Structures are given as structure tokens and as C-alpha cells.
Amino acid sequence: METTLRGVGVSHGVAIGEVRHMGTAVLEPPAKQIPAEEAEREQGRARQAVEAVAADLIARGNLAGGEAQAVLEAQAMMAQDPELMADVERRITVGSTAERGVYDAFAAYRALLAGAGEYLAGRVADLDDVRNRIVARLLGVPMPGVPDSDEPYVLIARDLAPADTALLDPALVLGFVTEEGGPTSHSAILARALGVPAVVAMPGAGELAEGIVVAVDGSTGEVFVEPSADKRASLEQAAAARKAALAASSGPGATSDGHKVPLLANVGGPADVPAAVEAGAEGVGLFRTEFLFLDDSQRAPSEEKQVEAYRKVLEAFPEGRVVVRVLDAGADKPLDFLTPGDEPNPALGVRGLRSLLDHPDVLRTQLTALAKAAEGLPVYLEVMAPMVADRIDAKAFADACREAGLQAKFGAMVEIPSAALRARSILQEVEFLSLGTNDLAQYTFAADRQVGAVSRLQDPWQPALLDLVAASAEAAKAEGKSCGVCGEAAADPLLACVLTGLGVTSLSMGAASIPYVRAALAKHTLAQCERAAAAARAADSAQEARVAAQAVLSGE
């Protein structure tokens, strides 16, 4: 009998197939004491396992490339965290085995952060995955992972670690559903990059029977269990219509009445450029430069290395717009040479621009490298700072850009509610705004991006978040300047129409989402988008906002 479950749709498309569950294993080692003379040997075992897991994660990242590479390299850094390793060795010294020392050290770290209400420095799924990989290696048991199957299937998991998501084979994994996670989790972002339909934060996912047929709608977040023939036909028809609309859509982003909305790509480095070019991106709206800094947590990359990497991206978009975000370190992306190690709550501490202003040499080197990389190229370079709180921050960044001799537009990211509320003040110092809706939602609703239990508050359709987007766009229009969106909200075709109606001037997203957004905009006039935006803001919940906007745009 057909039943319908609902989670959060995070990657477009429809997948219909049999359920296969992610393999699980008991990875809690026995608590037994070892004699003191074995402590040094056990400590050596622990260090070897940590290094082997870090090397495996880096190798997986090299194989996956693109955005996944930066994610997995960050996980490798987590495995090698010196404070965690020191705790492991201390526990072994007082009698724990290597595997028990690792297990307990990670558990203590996790509990400490959760108890302090912290935005976890190691994202929950990532932290648990690193622990499991180290313990599995020490126990000599296989890591639980993607099931073996000769036939395509829908993957069901409690959560998916980046190491698993990055190497999914789209030819076998038709789509996936997780019980935990959120719309801005690493797995959700990587699913969009792979083009695999996905639904996260769906209660009861683990109870779906092995082998049962489900239909996953990654756009609506619905999962149909044992769908009827009629339901399967309607979903397949809708998917075919969507595919036809994508094929018919090309060229610059614009509404049906010609209002231009440049569609840009979010990239993590040169490896992401080919997909962006193939999708018809009109430039880069968010060039995350963190990937360069993850190779070595002890020191920043040289100016020469930075120039080489930046120029590869800039050369790919001649006469296009490339918006570079300077290093965004801290919170979930700690770097030993830059971020404090003893903050009680790093997400609310010294991160983003704050870290760079505390280390002006790091900022100066990056800005100088960007200036050199752009020399002689016809690209329109724009550089923005993360985590800008007010006009003082904006001025400090603009001054640093000018001192470095950077010939580019300077901008500020709007990720903190104060920046949205005081956007006109900030725009006295910079030339554009870019809304990072992932962090803006997190800080607006006090809702950790990685905690499935608060996923409804991370929903970019929340009317309060739309109000902040509108405030920023209105301020930019009043100042005659631009205001784009580079958060995951831009990847939702329906929401992209609403953002356009709110006055946003450009949209940046993962390359795989660009054709969907282009097709959606081409179906509606600017006036329709404005009416949909007004209807969404008048709602009292994210779900009501989505339904209201859909009703306007479908002519109901």
C-alpha cells in the first residue's frame, strides 16, 4: 500500500528503485586494561591508524576532485588534530588500548562541544566518520559503507559522511535518503554536485525494509513507499518534462520578459571549473579559497602557489565576473596558524574576516596574490570578505584591499543579521553585497546547520530569512549597487524566482543546479516573481511560504 514520507529535498530529480541500507558495524571496542609496558606500542598503533585514515581521506579527495576534495582534506585534518591525539595518548598511558583510547577521546570531545551548545568544530557526521574509520582500522574490521550491488538502488542511511558521498556511483546509486543531516550539510552539497536526487532529515528512514520499492523526489522532499503504477507514471512524466525544459533552456539567466539575472557558479578551485563552464555559468559568484589552505594547517600557502591557483579560475571566464571570497577560516574550518584553539564557541568567535584582521600578513598575501593573478586578464574580478558584521568591518577590509593595490570591486558577505539590518551603512564602504544564506539562517535562528533536529529552521524558505534578504536587496538598490545570493538557497529553482522578486541581482550555485534555475526563471515574468516573493513573505512558516509562492507562479 502506497504511503508518503516527507523529509527535506536537497538535490533535484526523481529516483525510483529498491531500498538498500548503508552497512553498519559495531565499532565500540571493549574496555580492557593493558599493562604499562604495552602503552608505547599501543600509542604507535594509534598514530599509524590515524595517519593511514588521513592518507585514505586525502586519496579519496584526489580521486573525487572538485568541492569534495576540500571537504575530505578538511576531514583528514580533523583526524590528525594534535589535541585529540594528545588525549588519545594520555588515555593509553593510563591503561586503554589504542582503539578504546581513540573511541573515548572522540566521545569526550563530542560530548564537551555538545554540552557547551557549540557549533561543532568537527561536523557531526564528519567527526563520527573519522572516529569509526580509525577504530575500524585498529580492530581490523571493514568500514561500514555503500552496499555491494549489481543493480541500481536507492541508498538509505542514518547519515552519509563526505567520504562515502563523494565517491557514490550515480550509475548504481539512483538517489539517497538519510534520517539525519540538513539542507546545508556536506552530504547535501555533494549530492547536488553529483546530480543525485536526495532527501535528508527524514524521520523513519531507517525503518524502510530492505528491497522495498520507493520513489524519491529530491525537489519536494517526498518519499513514496511502494508507489502505485499511477504515481510512478506521474513522477516519471514530471521528470521527463523537467528534463525537456532543461534541454530547451540555454543562454544567460533571465525572466520571460527579459529581466536579466546572471547565473553564476560556486567553485572550490580549478577542478570545479569545467562543470561550471559546461553548465553555462556566466561567471563565478563564490570562489571558496579555503581549499588552498587545507593542505597544511600549520602555515599559509605561498604567494606563488596562490597566484597559480587563482589564475586558473580567472582564465576560465574571460570577460566574465569572478567573485572571490577571501579565506573563511574558523568554526568548522579551523587552521592552526590562524584560528584560536581555546574558544568556548568558535562559531561566535574569531572566524572569517575577524581572523584575517588579526593576521594582516595572511590577508595581505592573499590580496596581493589575487592582484597578480588578475594582471593582463579581461576578467571582472570582485573580492569579498566573509562574516562582516558592520561598517567598521567593511571599511577595514576595503582599506586592506586598497593597500594591497587590488584593482577590483570590494564586497561584503551578508551572513550575520546585523549586516542585513545595516546594509546601507556597510555599502558606504563596499561596492556589492553577497548573501550567504546558509550561515545567515544559522545565525538568525540559532540553528546549527548540521543538526537534523532543527532542520526546519535551516530552511531558506523561512519568512524571517526572506525578510533579511529583502532588506539587503532594498538597501543595495537604494545605493545603486548589486546584491547577489551565493548560499544554497539559490540552487532551488522555485526559491530562485522568489529571490529575484525580492530584488536580488544575481544567483550563484553549484554547477549542476544552473540549468534547473535557468529554466524556472525563463517561465515567469519579473512581476510574477515579485508577487510570489510578497506571498512568501506574508506566510508564517517555511512550508506555507513555499506553497504560497508555488500557487502564484503556477497561476492558481
- Which residues are marked as active site? 186, 486
Residues 294, 299, 305, 311: is their CA dihedral positive or negative? positive
| Best CA proximity match to 446, nearest among 116, 113, 118, 10 | 118
**The dihedral sign for the CA sequence 146, 150, 156, 160:** positive
- Are 328 and 386 spatial neighbours (Cβ–Cβ below 8 Å)? yes
CA–CA gap between residue 523 and residue 516 (Å, rounded): 11
How many Å apart are CA 392 and CA 426, to the nearest integer?
A: 8
Separation of alpha carbons 250 and 38, rounded Å: 66
**Calpha distance 556→483 (Å, rounded):** 30
Nearest in space to 496 (alpha carbons), one of 478, 514, 511? 514
Q: How many Cβ atoms sit within 10 Å of the Cβ of residue 414?
A: 33
* Cα gap 37→170, rounded to integer Å: 50
Residues with Cβ < 8 Å from 429, sequence gap 6 or more? Answer: 391, 394, 395, 397, 398, 410, 412
The Cα 64–Cα 166 span in angstroms is: 6
Burial of 440 (0-12, 13-18, 19+ CB in 10 A): buried
Q: How far apart are alpha carbons 465 and 511 in whole angstroms?
A: 24
For 4, 14, 174, 249, the CA distances from 526, given in Å and listed in that order, are: 34, 29, 35, 18
Q: What is the CA 379 to chain-centroid distance, rounded?
A: 26
Q: How many residues does the chain have?
A: 556
Cα 156-159-162 angle, rounded to 5 deg? 110
Grid cell of 100 as nine digits: 578504546
- How far, CA to CA in Å, does 98 sit from each of 39, 85, 86, 377, 485? 9, 11, 12, 54, 47
Question: Quick check: 440 and 382 in contact, CB under 8 A?
Answer: no
DSSP string of 458-495, one letter each residue: H-TT-HHHHHHHHHHHHHHHHTT-EEEE-SGGGG-HHH
